[in-house]
Structure 1
Amino acid sequence: MAFHGGDIETAAEQTGRTRWLDFSANISPLGVPDSVKQAIVQAAEHLSRYPDPYQRKLRRALAETHRVLPEQIVCGNGGADIIFRTLRCLRPRRALLPVPCFSEYEEALTEAGCRVTRWYLPEPFQITRSLCEALENGCYDCLVLCNPNNPTGSVIEPGLLESILETAKQKQMFVLMDECFYDMTEDPEEQNSCIRRIDAFPNLLVVRSLTKRYAIPGLRLGYGICGDVRRIECIRTTGQPWPVNTLAAEAACAALNDQAYQMQFREFLQQARPDLQQGLTQLGFQVWDSHANFLFFRAKGMSHLDLELQEFGILLRHCDTYPGLNADYYRAAVRLPEENAKLLSGLKSCLSAGACGGAQCLKGEV
């Protein structure tokens, strides 16, 4: 099983500590919207009935939100569920996978019997036009992309993305595009989202999730959007027949209608993300610009920074499990200002104590 952030139970077992400030999971610190809580309570009255196996109400709500057809949407038990079911359905033979990236892609491809070729993102961990050359020169039938990328937070330049999609289309290559963090980018109308391209590229499927923005990872709700309705139907019939439970379906509909929460989250992120980035930079870390609700940074020579922070009750995502990254890369979620201040204070204490070489190590002086 892949390693993830947000595993508070394991941290508690290892340390005996039960209260944590979790920067390892990229979840909205604003909490579950009241509208979602109310929808869950009301939906509980219907738990004696089976959920709708076709998710009709939910798909209509998603179709209205994204301005697509309900028939172009498949829903599942989180974004990872859509990824696994899609690849089980399509059974690609050889895939190109830019890394570092979300671990479930390679796990799902391997489970589907696909041979995976890793394409290592060149510094500063950004998709470049050389990816098109790799697609043109290789014999791939599947490409998996993440935009914004996890864990780097980088986005693909729109013109380059169009070239990649055109190349894949010409090569009759399926493209699985993970946009689970896209609603956090500075593109509120989503003009550059691949959802706008599904009709032009029927070989493209876009994966989305409501987990991060609405702080509902415990409910599990994800969906895929594709212009090819036959492919959507194939994915829908792959896996168990009730992938979305009643509570999750009603919660999702309420979240999609909560414009006030969406605005509040966007305003929060636009302020908190640059503030945290500035704080990390001032401490001497190398920090990458992010288009999601997390920051990717390097603490050169500090391979146990996550363990040091546990002494302060703070969980940080160590990125050494991502292909292409070593032990001094980390990812930190963007949380509330007072919580971000605690993270910065904990990091400063680690540096002052000389953990793993301290500030001098960061500056390359040891």
Structure 2
Amino acid sequence: MPSPANRLAQFSESVIRGMTRLANSCGAINLSQGFPDFEPPEALLSALETATRGPYHQYAVTWGAPGFRQALAKKINRNTGLEIDPDQHLVVTCGSTEAMMVAMMTACNPGDKVIVFSPFYENYAADAILSGAEPIYVTLNAPDFGYDSDELAKAFEQNPKAIIVCNPSNPTGKVFTPNELQEILDLAEKHDAYVITDEPYEHIVYQPHVHTYAASLPGAFERVITCNSLSKTYSITGWRLGYVLASAEVIAQARKVHDFLTVGAAAPLQEAAIAGLELPDSYYIELQQAYTRKRDIFLGYLRQTGLPFTEPQGAYYVMVDISSLGFATDTEAAEWFAREIGVAGVPGSSFFREPEHRFIRFHFAKKEETLHAAGKKLLALSKRA
């Protein structure tokens, strides 16, 4: 029998989705894989019902249904001030997961280098390997997960083709400031590199922090490739609707990659999702308020456990330091949490390039009653301590 491709030996199956399987098998509350246990907005559900009865059951335009791209361009303009041409600047993908793969394969040749901040969302390392690129890791230092400017500058001196910036960050909850983004853009311009941003948590940011769109900074649009999705903003992770936003020159190439990866995103879901893109500004205000309440509930229980954690500035994840509990590894700890405490998280080592075993990542994109139930289970940690 022939052997599978060598590159597949360089990464494993998703640890996050593995923890979901463990949670399901032992009946734990799943705070590992970041999907809600509540419904999308009613406007989306109504539009979905209508779309299933409409003439949308065959292929949409490969790079996105026209109505969806038009609504998306209007929303992006409202948020960023950028003048977006729906026919020139967008390609609709099967979630931000495909958007990142499209961006990487559009930007990078095999053998190119790509800067990745560590800790990172687990897909980024796999994206680099699958596209034939070599990651250069720059550390985000706990507990605030800031980066060292000198380390970043030295990484750029290795002449990378791109840098990946997740903002707000999964798994750390870090929100990059305008000054940080400008520093990254200045280095990218100096070394002629792309800035690939992943921004699915754009509307989940906690005061006083504010999300800055890198592409909206002066002179940045031609260099930034923005990846995004509707999954988190509208609680539709299963719809798998994402997009790449970039200059016309980049999108012309990205469409070719997308076409031969997936052909296109689901046509009826694109039609239904227009209703979400057209929701008023009040929806995003209420979303931020709702997630602020969820964060406060869950962090309140964590404080009672006495475990150190980094308060997230955005997204809906929290990195909890479990080193005081005496486990040999974070994987052992995460499995114990699921089986014995009844709350499943993700061992933090799956996000780090460094040999780091201090953290478990939990998410709080759940109903408030679910978070109270999980929090009460976590209080049992005081007995172990």
- TM-score when normalising by structure 2: 0.83
Q: Which residue of 2 aligns with 1:270?
A: 292
CA distance in 1, matches of 2:115, 2:288: 33
**Match of residue 337, structure 2, among 299, 306, 309:** 309
Deviations 1:2-41 (A, max 9, x none): 41535577237754x4xx5321122344422221122222
Q: Check whether the contact 1:198–1:205 (CA below 8 A) recurs between aligned residues.
A: no
**Match of residue 236, structure 2, among 216, 226, 249:** 216
Q: Which residue of 1 aligns with 2:141?
A: 122
1:195 maps to 2:215: yes
Q: Which residue of 2 aligns with 1:283?
A: 305
**Match of residue 74, structure 1, among 83, 91, 97:** 91
Q: Which residue of 2 aligns with 1:24?
A: 32
Q: Which residue of 1 aligns with 2:267?
A: 246
1:36 maps to 2:34: no
Deviations 1:245-265 (A, max 9, x none): 113212321221233543332
Q: Judging changes above 3 Å, is the alpha-carbon distance between structure 1 residues 12 and 101 closer, same or farther for their aligned structure 2 residues?
A: closer
**Match of residue 327, structure 1, among 357, 360, 370:** 357
Q: Which residue of 1 aligns with 2:114?
A: 95
CA distance in 2, matches of 1:191, 1:317: 25
Q: Check whether the contact 1:209–1:223 (CA below 8 A) recurs between aligned residues.
A: yes
Q: Check whether the contact 1:51–1:242 (CA below 8 A) recurs between aligned residues.
A: no
Q: Which residue of 1 aligns with 2:8?
A: none
Q: Check whether the contact 1:82–1:222 (CA below 8 A) recurs between aligned residues.
A: yes
Q: Check whether the contact 1:293–1:333 (CA below 8 A) recurs between aligned residues.
A: yes
- 3-state DSSP class of the match of 1:205? strand
CA distance in 2, matches of 1:14, 1:219: 25
- Which of 65-74 and 318-327 deviates more? 318-327
CA distance in 2, matches of 1:37, 1:5: 28
1:52 maps to 2:80: no
- 3-state DSSP class of the match of 1:49? coil
2:376 alignment partner AA? S
Unaligned runs of 5+ in 1: 360-366
Moved over 6 A (4+): 187-191
CA distance in 1, matches of 2:297, 2:195: 35
2:14 alignment partner AA? F
Q: Which residue of 2 aligns with 1:109?
A: 128
Q: Give 1:205 shift.
A: 0.7
- Which of 130-139 and 50-59 deviates more? 130-139
CA distance in 2, matches of 1:198, 1:82: 24
What is the root-mean-square deviation of aligned Cα atoms in Å? 2.6
Q: Check whether the contact 1:40–1:251 (CA below 8 A) recurs between aligned residues.
A: yes
CA distance in 2, matches of 1:113, 1:320: 23
Q: Give 1:85 shift.
A: 1.5
CA distance in 1, matches of 2:209, 2:273: 20
Q: Give 1:162 shift.
A: 0.5
2:40 alignment partner AA? V
1:180 maps to 2:210: no
Q: Judging changes above 3 Å, is the alpha-carbon distance between structure 1 residues 7 and 246 closer, same or farther for their aligned structure 2 residues?
A: farther
2:32 alignment partner AA? S
Residue-pair matches, total: 350
CA distance in 2, matches of 1:251, 1:261: 17
Q: Judging changes above 3 Å, is the alpha-carbon distance between structure 1 residues 75 and 275 closer, same or farther for their aligned structure 2 residues?
A: same
CA distance in 2, matches of 1:153, 1:316: 15
Q: Give 1:157 shift.
A: 2.3
Q: Identity of aligned pairs, percent? A: 19
Q: Which residue of 1 aligns with 2:4?
A: none
